[in-house]
Amino acid sequence: MHASPSVLIVDRSEETREVLETALEKRGIRTLCAARIHRAAEMARAQQPDLIVLDLELDRSNLGQVCAKFQAEADCQQPPMVLLGSMQKAPANPHCEIVAKPYHYGLLIRKIEEILETLNRDSRKPA
Amino acid sequence: MPSLFVIRGNDQGSRFEFAEGTTSIGRDASNDIQLHDTEVSRRHAQIYGSKDVYTVSDLDSSNGTFVNGRPVEAHRLESGDHLQIGRTLMLFTQPPGAPEVDLSDKVAISSDKAFGDQSHIVHSVSHEESSHFFELSPQVEQSAWLARARGNLQAMYRAALAVSQTLDIDKLLHRIMELIFESVEADRGCVMLTDADTGRLQPKVQRTRRNSKDGDRITISETILDYVMENGEGVLTSDAQQDDRWNPAASIVRMGIREAICVPMRGRYDIVGVIYIDTSTSPQELMLKGVANRFSEDHLKLMVAIAHQAALAVEDTRYYSAMVQAERLAAVGQTIATLSHHIKNILQGIRGGSYLIEMGLSEHDETVVRKGWKIVEKNQNKISALVLDMLTFSKEREPDLQPADINRVVCDVVELMQAHAADLDVAVHCRLADDIPTLVFDPEGMHRAILNVITNAIDAAADSERSGNVEVATAYLPEDGKIQVSIRDDGPGIPADEMERSSGPSCPPRRVVGPGSVCRSARRSSANTADGLPWNPIRARGVAFPWNCRPSLPEPAARLLRKPPSKSPDPCLFCGDRYISLSGTGLL
């Protein structure tokens, strides 16, 4: 990663998107925001973010399928994901972390920074 | 979908639906069907379904699995089977796999001319007249047997009538006892029902014929009761020895005879109680009448038949109450879950706002502080609105009828919800009819009802694949005397299997958030908006919600309002205040 890292925030709550966007931008992290799976998948394919923060309660008519639905629609190499909420089955993507709701933003921001830091270190390792 | 309906046990009234594949049943919460019954093993049994064939298998449980009273290891279930696990008794039902037969080509309704039928009505009987079907004129001769048979049929018919007409179980049981006393020469009688919790018999009705010498207290042999309950058979008992009838020195001559009939109240699924009657014949009566027995096998059969009718009514009342109670509890549970979800989201919002405020203060960035404060303030308002809504919902409210403009009410609601809709990327479109006159209704109540519906429509539209849309429209239907407020969203809709239950006494227990909850909340609001405001939720597949209201007033006010508006309005017939003049007739 040479440019500043980017995070795609997918959450139906405008407040959550606003808080994360403000906090992450202050830390030099670029943010992309989407409120729906379809739009988020388009952005993921086009912008190739380094990390995706996905609200598991995005589609209340289909709880439990949000992650799978997004991954199917995004149809691209899956970056690490931070999933907000709870899941009955562990996600197929091994690079997913789950943060239960309600969460503290401080801890969530730190987790995002740690993951991005790890990705940055891994990308600088010699092949 | 096949289902198990609990007809006895701690989960009485619950219905468990399941699909093909394996469905586990047990006491543990990990089971697909969890039974709250200490006599059920943690993993007790399972049902496997494939190609419309469902088989129940016992999983080596401690107390076994029973189908129709027989212990089974594996058994293919048929619709109507009783499945007993522990103390829990369930009814298995499976909708028919084959399509229903269409008989419309076998039965037709046609005019007489087209049909060529020369028949005409020769006699008709009203419902009231049919209840005297078995009564014969005293002039007509009839044998003793025929008279008894007709009497018994009459009693049966009247028992069936009582069951169909009497909704209160206590009144019904009293009526049943009356019928028995009219048909049988009993001196005393009682009806006992099993207690739902303890299973013990509790007396519900007790009756003594006048001039009975035995007093009011009835003592029933426990042996007889146990026999009747365990074997499900009616019994006729007598304390006379069989051969004493012919022995003038025997005990019956000295002490008389005591006879009793005790029959089970057997319903469709279970024995719900017993009916008991007894009589005693003194030695003097024996001498006078020369008859040793007053109760016969015919009386016993009649009592069994009447008891069955009464049991069906008792069962219907119990299971309906249990079902309504279970649905209410499920609805309460769902309401609490939904409230928790909303409160959790508000808490998340407040945490976010506080986080930005803290960040802004530590970095001396006022812009960030303001952002954070705005979020906190918004969530403060949300929690305040939530609490007020709960208080309002719990209060009974008299409708405040007054002339009002329904379009104005709808516009106010839409304006109120614009910010919420924008937050969720949902567009709200208004299409208001311009020919709706001023009408008399409760504007505040209607405001709340419409607000509930639109809020849920916006939330549903937020779940749609792309940007959501909600359309609100009003229409005036003068020929029907109705106004229509229609709210349409492009959300995911209501699943087909929940559509039927969405207009029942309580809304579907599984889906409270979204259009399903609109029914209940809006029904409650509309029930309070005007006396006699009929509720008619016509729902498409979770998309369109046309809501027809017929504002009405008691007749004198309606007559007043039908009059063309005059220059000096007539005083109100209720309070004497002058009405403001209404445009058009207003009410129909």
Where do the domains of chain A lie? 6-118
Give A41→chain B minimum CA distance, Å. Answer: 11
DSSP B133: T
Give B521→chain A minimum CA distance, Å. Answer: 20
Q: Which two tokens stand for residue B537?
A: 């939720």
pLDDT means per 10 residues, chain B with 588 residues, are 86 86 92 91 93 92 90 90 91 73 74 68 75 62 78 86 82 91 89 86 87 68 87 84 50 65 89 90 70 80 93 84 78 83 89 96 95 94 86 78 90 87 85 88 86 85 77 86 85 60 39 31 38 33 47 43 39 31 28
| Closest-CA residue of chain A to B459 | A60
Instruction: Tell me, yes or no, if B560 comes closer than 8 A to chain A by beta carbon.
Output: no
| Closest-CA residue of chain B to A104 | B351
Single pTM value for the model: 0.53
- Between B39 and A94, where is the model more confident? B39
Q: Which two tokens stand for residue B79?
A: 């619709």
pLDDT at B411: 92
- Do B372 and B359 contact (CB within 8 A), yes or no? yes
Give A124→chain B minimum CA distance, Å. Answer: 31
Residues of A in contact with B376 (CB under 8 A): none
Kindly state which CATH superfamily the domain A6-118 is placed in.
Response regulator (3.40.50.2300)
Q: Rounded to whole angstroms, how far apart are CA atoms B414 and B393? A: 21
Instruction: Tell me, yes or no, if B383 comes closer than 8 A to chain A by beta carbon.
Output: no
Instruction: Tell me, yes or no, if B371 comes closer than 8 A to chain A by beta carbon.
Output: yes
- Do B518 and B546 contact (CB within 8 A), yes or no? no
Residues of B in contact with A39 (CB under 8 A): 466
Q: Rounded to whole angstroms, how far apart are CA atoms A8 and A54? A: 8
pLDDT at B530: 34
Q: Which two tokens stand for residue A73?
A: 């629609």
Cβ <8 Å between B352 and A105: yes
Outline where DSSP puts E strands in B353-425: 402-404
Q: Please, which residues 146-205 of chain B have a Cβ atom closer than 8 Å to chain A?
A: none
Instruction: Tell me, yes or no, if A106 comes closer than 8 A to chain B by beta carbon.
Output: yes
Residues of B in contact with A60 (CB under 8 A): 459, 463, 513-514
pLDDT at B445: 84
Cβ <8 Å between B344 and A101: yes
Q: Rounded to whole angstroms, how far apart are CA atoms B411 and B434? A: 13
Residues of B in contact with A104 (CB under 8 A): 351, 355
Instruction: Tell me, yes or no, if B466 comes closer than 8 A to chain A by beta carbon.
Output: yes
